A and B are shown apart, each in its own frame.
Chain A
Amino acid sequence: MIPAVARFVDALRDEGVPVSPAEVLDAARALDAVGLEDRARFRAALRATLAKGRAHLPRFDRLFDRFFAAPARGSARRGEKPGEAGAGGARAGGEGGEAKRSRPREEPRRGACPARDRAREGKTGAGDERRERLRRAIARLGEGDSRREGRLRRVRVEREAHAEARGAVERDPSRRDLTRPMTTDEERRVAREVPRLVREIRLRAGRRLARARRGRLWIRRLFRENISLGGIPFVLPFRRRRPRRPRVVLLVDVSYSTARAAGYFLAMATEFVVAGRDARVLAFVDRPVDATRAVAAWARRGRRPATQAPRSAPRGRRRGEGIESGGLSFADLLESLPGLNLAAPSDYGRAFHALLHSHLRPGGRDSVLVVLGDARTNRFDPLPWAVEEVSRRARAVLWLVPEPRSRWGTADSALADYLPYADVVVEARDLAGLARGVAELVRRL
């Protein structure tokens, strides 16, 4: 069976179209008969075998167009959409979380800057005064219609839209899109928000954390220990947590596109899980490297009072330069990791495969795997089965995607293959999103 069709059937079921296994077999036989060359025929075959009722046809058509859209923008076969597809089903992940099987969608890049896209489409909504200003800006520019002028106009509108977006971000650095170019100073400004967000998460999780440290009341032993006291519970035994294998594994893509998000994420996550004690940190570009000790040391530096002033001379435009902990920038931390080739093209399949065969693989019913990455795997084989295998052994898989949702699964992103095996998916394009992801992790501790 073609995986795409299997996923399509999954999505149909999520949308409430009942598809029985027998019908899936029929569909497979039907596809065998009509072949895959002709889209209309392919569609008719699936329609005749999978959507049996007028009420199901609109849902079928919508999903079909999303799954088997004609290739656009260089991405051939992925065309699914998050949110909606998963809304009906499976384990929801709370705030910012997505259910299993939610998939990214393929569409022209948008959402990175809504204002610009609206400008491009020529649509303006009422209300929002920002949009109104933009509309006026377009109107001012709109004279003459030679092609060159048109392009020029578009460039100028885009530039204004960028300025708009930047303006919005200056008001709240935690909403700054981390995938856009940033200077080291901007990185520092965003990093200053980290303690505030950490405090927020801590407040939210306070009671839970306290209880987790002390352990639960041990009822069976309570009876046993108090027998000699006439059964009156003078002694309250608590069940202490036993030390276990790594409970949390943070698998962090530190390639160029996600290094910045990775830095912020680790800066926040290490406030809640102590690297080395209850979390392992694996950094990867093409293969995972155990960064637990280095990250632990990095996090510890930040807690000590500053012994040395932060290095002010930037060594160039490296990402993560402005994410510092006790004077050591995340960029330096990455460079100090032995065996990590920052210049390699990222290869998720290989990373997951290595994780699966490593002693650090999360396992057991209280193990959590957190993946931070955009799944841009440079067209290497994504090996989704490796993720499935890891996911099956772990209690939960959290996936933080440091990319706007509209870009998920586009081009060389294999996110569509991986997300079915993630329990919670968080859009972590900015610091606030990363904090949501950290909060999801804390909830599971």
Chain B
Amino acid sequence: MSKPLAITPEAIEAAFQERGFVCTGEVATTLFLAETLGKPLLLEGPPGVGKTEIAKLWAEVHGSDLIRLQCYEGLDEAKALYEWSYGKQILYAQLLRDKTGDLLSGAADLRSAMAMLRGEADGFFSRDFLLPRPLLSAITSEKPVVLLVDEVDRSDEEFEAFLLEVLSDYQVSIPELGTVHARHRPRVVLTSNDTRDLSDALRRRCLYLYVDYPSFEDEIRIVESRVPGLSVALTERLVRFAQSLRKADVKKAPAIAEVVDWALALVAVGADGLSASVLRRTLGVLLKNREDVERVLADPSRFRT
């Protein structure tokens, strides 16, 4: 797995292909650039086009760990960067109380007791009690890792600003300990579903790639590689069906994974066409909204062309 990868766009494309991911030239080139320029990569696009998958495979290709930071509203530094382990610290305090009794028994008064204490190490805020969260573990990791900051558009703007600071220098300052520098520059991938406009500053620091739904040909390649047992004609028809659904204003457009699932379902029921009865039985795999399903079943021919 960790065989060194010659970094060229072709090699990346081939490595992704090998792992069953249909990788367009643009994706490969951008990943190549992220690697060569050492910049974070911002992937944007509708849900379900494989943005997270790209990051996962990117880690796999490099044979490195993937550290994932899932963003959500209210995510703050403590949850993303580090926390102090309070339980351990309380235990340590108890230990201290016992030990200091013995240690300070020789002291004549309070002043000399303080002086003696000062001589001992202050272990209260040390690495032993630090609980690293994804960002810190990505920075302190022994091996280079891929840091995936997933759905960064869901986080608050304050967190985005904080992220910016981390991404610009790859260092974190912990007031009690000082500044922690990255041992290896992590490969950073950010994904966004474009629900909120990210700040220009963040965009400036990243390379940008808009991942859209695949083209007709690419999606056929994807389905073919994932669902080998499907006839060519049916593959084409189901992909065309899914693509026209995306163009129509359905509430939830089918993601690539759902199209693949649907193809698997069609194989499972042994369908050889998209007849009304086949659709009725399997459409739940593709569409996850009742109104959408009803609309399509009412007039399926609209989407077959």
Contacts and interface: CB of A to CB of B under 8 A. Distances in A.
Interface of A: 18, 20, 22-23, 26, 29-30, 33-34, 40-41, 43-45, 47-49, 51-54, 57
A49 B37 CA distance: 11
A45 B29 contact: yes
Nearest to B205: A22
Given A30-B33, A53-B203, A41 B209 contact: no
Q: Across the A-B interface, give the 3 residue pairs with the lowest CB-CB distance, nearest first.
A: A52-B203, A44-B29, A52-B208
A26 B38 CA distance: 11
A26 B30 contact: no
A54 B43 CA distance: 11
A64 to B, nearest CB: 13
Contacts of A51: 208
Nearest to B209: A48
Given A18-B200, A45-B29, A33 B210 contact: no
Given A34-B9, A52-B204, A53-B197, 19 more contacts: A20-B204, A22-B204, A26-B37, A30-B207, A34-B29, A34-B32, A34-B33, A44-B33, A47-B26, A47-B209, A48-B30, A48-B33, A48-B207, A48-B209, A49-B33, A49-B207, A52-B200, A52-B206, A54-B210
Interface in B28-86: 29-30, 32-33, 36-37, 39, 42, 44
Contacts of A57: 210
A41 B42 CA distance: 18
The A interface is mostly helix, strand or loop, or mixed, namely helix
A314 to B, nearest CB: 62
A54 B194 contact: yes
A44 B200 contact: no
B32 A33 contact: yes
10 contacts: A30-B33, A44-B26, A48-B29, A48-B30, A48-B208, A53-B203, A53-B208, A54-B44, A54-B194, A57-B210
B31 to A, nearest CB: 10
A43 B24 CA distance: 13
B37 A29 contact: yes
Given A41-B9, A47-B26, A26 B36 contact: no
A41 B26 CA distance: 7
B117 to A, nearest CB: 50
Contact of A33 (B37, B44, B194): B37
B203 A40 contact: no
Contacts of A44: 25-26, 29-30, 33
Contacts of A52: 42, 200, 203-204, 206, 208
Nearest to B36: A33
